[in-house]
Amino acid sequence: MSIFKENFLWGGAVAAHQLEGGWQDGGKGVSVADVMTVGAHGTPRRITNGVLEGENYPNHDAIDFYGRYKEDVKLFAELGLKCFRTSIAWTRIFPNGDETEPNEAGLQFYDDLFNECLKYGIEPVITLSHFEMPYHLVTEYGGWRNRKMIDFFAHFAEVCFTRYKDKVKYWMTFNEINNQANYQEDFAPFTNSGLKFEANDNREKIMYQAAHYELVASAKAIEIGHKINPDFEIGCMIAMVPIYSYSCSPSDMMAATVAMQRRYWFTDVHCKGRYPSYMKTYFDRKQFDLDITAADEVQLTKGTVDYIGFSYYMSFAVKDHDKGPAYDYDEAHDLVENPYVKASDWGWQIDPTGLRYAMNWFNDRYELPLFIVENGFGAIDEIADDGEIHDEYRIDYLREHIEAMQEAVIYDGIDLMGYTPWGFIDLVSAGTGEMKKRYGFIYVDKDNEGAGTLDRSKKDSFHWFQKVIASNGDVL
Ligand code: P53
């Protein structure tokens, strides 16, 4: 008998804006991803004021999954996927975000895509908002700093739940909602919440307000979803980067504890339907005076999640930096290198044991089923003389993480639903907008400048993962 359950959801994960392209097709509106230029490791993507002439916006065309999804899904079936995690581009359904009536062409595209998946027995796993809110909601309303977003999102969710209620069972509300804990940089607040800041803005306060509205919107959507189809399984999606104590000094340990609270309180609200005490005292101490109403607090209790979806790529480490008893965490400055682990070319610290640690951390607190909806290794792939890509570094990374999952099931009793490696078909990097940071088992011929045939081909990891799925993880 395998270590993983019989119906284990082996799959692959992507997000609409990172692979679809067709940014103006079928009546699609402009999303926040459409106004982000290409960057690189150490060079942030720029957020432009709308779409400007002469800039390189890699998400506009991406890998043209919009035009090629039929052939691509056929390849996914050959890989043996049991499920396919993608997102619905909000701007295909509501181009501006504030319309009452949805755009039929957009709805039809996802009907066709889901039908194509189901034809091969591939179950769609759908994120409602994955770094791609309508740009109009940013310019007209200030993004999620505005309470009106709650109803726009709930309406979008309701339309999707209703339309796909017999095709999609597994849902997630907001992708990596807690990335914005890194509010000091521009990327996460913009991609998570459509937030752009002025020089004098209190970024941290605005981030907490936006996150609150999102959590209320998530709870509202979950409540609606369960009414539309009681069999729906609706989860949250947390970017799990465990923050270790740099040393066993008690004050480093406290710094790590507080850092974990600042990055993961979102999970408490999603799972328990209420704010943890440490956040309430923090908001009071900082005099943030957030708009959190009694009705919001009731709503939060009515839309708790069915499972915890999370991404896992790496771990962090933190020192106390002599901050005194508050240990206030500043993600942009407080992290230190971990001497026990190696890092990828993009500086991501590779740590398979951290995945087991993370699963235990979630399980200790919430005792909910866990779904690893992203994990993977972004690397530069070279085509060898034989014309193939021998990506044993990627296979090694994934094998070690799957072994950590097995240990978590065997030794820690973790209830693990499935595993969907990130970017199993090469796509546009979220963080840098590059093509050359590849995660795929399927190679896509396209470079950072946008040149290439877009042809798909199989890397060594494709054949490896095929066997992993076929053996339910017994053959690694
Ligand atoms: P890229 C930061 C930290 C952890 C996960 O990332 C992150 C990010 C944002 O870059 O994002 C998730 O493409 C995200 C995906 C993204 C993937 O990780 O920067 O959910 O959209 O592509 C990998 O290498």
Domains of the chain, by residue range, sit at: 9-471
How high is the pLDDT of residue 245?
98
For the chain, the average pLDDT equals 98
Please give the DSSP secondary-structure letter assigned to residue 44: P
Report how far residue 141's alpha carbon sits from residue 163's, in angstroms, rounded to the nearest whole number. 27
Strand partners, 36: 47
Query: Which amino acids bring their CB within 6 angstroms of ligand 1?
Result: 15, 18, 131, 175-176, 179, 239, 311, 313, 374, 378, 422, 429-432, 437
Which residue has 């060898």 as its token pair?
Answer: 384
* 273: nearest Cα among 249, 302, 253: 302
Q: What are the φ and ψ backbone dihedral angles of 239, each rounded to 5 degrees?
A: -80, 105
CA-wise closest residue to 217 among 122, 320, 112, 147: 147
Q: How far is the CA of 131 from the centre of ligand 1 (A)?
A: 10
**pTM for this model (two decimals):** 0.98
Nearest alpha carbon, ligand 1 atom 14: 430
Q: Which residues of the chain fall short of a pLDDT of 70?
A: none
ipTM of the complex: 0.94
Cα separation, 386 vs 367, whole angstroms: 49
pLDDT on residue 159: 99
Q: Is-contact 319 246, C-beta < 8 A?
A: yes
Integer angstrom CA distances of residue 462 from 19, 233, 386, 389, 392: 18, 29, 17, 10, 11
Structure tokens at 464: 């490896």
Ligand 1 centroid to residue 430 C-alpha, Å? 5
Q: Which of 20, 127, 173, 179 to mutate to test the pocket of ligand 1 (most atoms within 8 A of CB)?
A: 179
What is residue 358's predicted lDDT score, i.e. its pLDDT? 98
| Residue carrying the six token digits 């005099």 | 287
Percentage helix, strand, coil for the chain under 3-state DSSP, each rounded to 5 = 40, 15, 45
- The 3-state DSSP class for residue 13 equals strand
> From the candidates 374, 392, 403, 407, which is the catalytic residue?
374
Does residue 374 have an active-site annotation?
yes
How far, in Å, from the CA of 234 to the mean position of ligand 1?
A: 21
- According to DSSP, residue 306 is labeled S
CATH ID of 9-471, from 1.20.1630.10, 3.40.50.1980, 3.20.20.80, 2.30.110.10: 3.20.20.80
Chain centroid, CA 326 distance in Å:
30
pLDDT at 1: 81
The pLDDT tens digits for 269-322 are 999 999 999 999 999 999 999 999 999 999 999 999 999 999 999 999 999 999
Place of tokens 């090694």: 396
